[in-house]
Amino acid sequence: MEPLSRMTAATIDVLSVLDASREPCWGLLVIKSSGRPAGSVYPILERLETSGWVTSSWEEDDSRPGPRRRYYELTEDGATAARAAIRSFAAKSTAAPKVAHA
């Protein structure tokens, strides 16, 4: 697993959705739950998959004809790193207003 070169708010939102899901999550649901546009989420998921934070697989439901859905889930190391990144980002977000008021 490789560390991400940059950690944006959109990336944190995607990681939060994947971390909160107990099972593999459909890509469209990640888009819906994160509140981010597909143009942001698709590249983020691809980066996460390339870096080894996330794995993806095709759905196993043969009852739905046509193209298959793609499901994403955090790897074991990715889950640990994702939680650390979310905590770190949250800490920075809460720390900033304090600095401003100081």
Partner 1 sequence: MSMATVAVRFAAWTLPRKMRNRYREQWLADLRDAEEAGIPPADIVFGSLAFAATLNRPLFSDSRALDAEAVTRRSRVAAGLALSAALVALTQYANIFVGFDNVASMYAREPGTEILAGWLGAYSWIAPVAAGLIVMVTRGTRTGVSIAVIALVFASFVGEIQPAIDRASQHRTTMWHAEPWIYPTALGLVAAASVFLWFALGRPRQRTDSVHGNRRLLASSIGGMVVLAAALLVIAHTQTIWETRLPLPFGPSVSENLSMWLQWMELKLDFEQLMVGTFSVLLVAGAVLACLVIAVGLPRRGTVSGVTAAAVFALCFLTLGYAALLSFLEAIWGVDFASRPIVVLFLVGRIGLVAVILYAVGGLRLPRSLPRMRRRPDMRSDAELIGG
Q: Where are the beta strands (DSSP E) in the chain?
A: 25-26, 54-58, 70-74
- Cβ pair 78, 1 in contact under 8 A: yes
C-beta closer to partner 1: residue 38 or 91: 38
Please identify which residue in 17, 31, 74, 85 interacts with partner 1, judged by CB under 8 A: 31
Q: How far is the CB of 77 from partner 1 (least distance, A)?
A: 20
Residues 6+ apart with CB under 8 A from 45: 14, 27, 30, 54, 56, 72
Cβ 42 to partner 1, closest distance in Å?
4
Query: Which of 6, 20, 22, 39 lies at the binding interface for partner 1 (CB under 8 A)?
Result: 39
Regarding 28 and contact with partner 1 (CB under 8 A), the answer is: yes
Q: How far is residue 8's CA from residue 5's CA, in Å, rounded to a whole number?
A: 10
Choosing from 1, 55, 70, 73, the residue that interacts with partner 1 (CB under 8 A) is 70
Binding site for partner 1 (CB under 8 A): 5, 26-29, 31-32, 37-43, 46, 50, 66-70
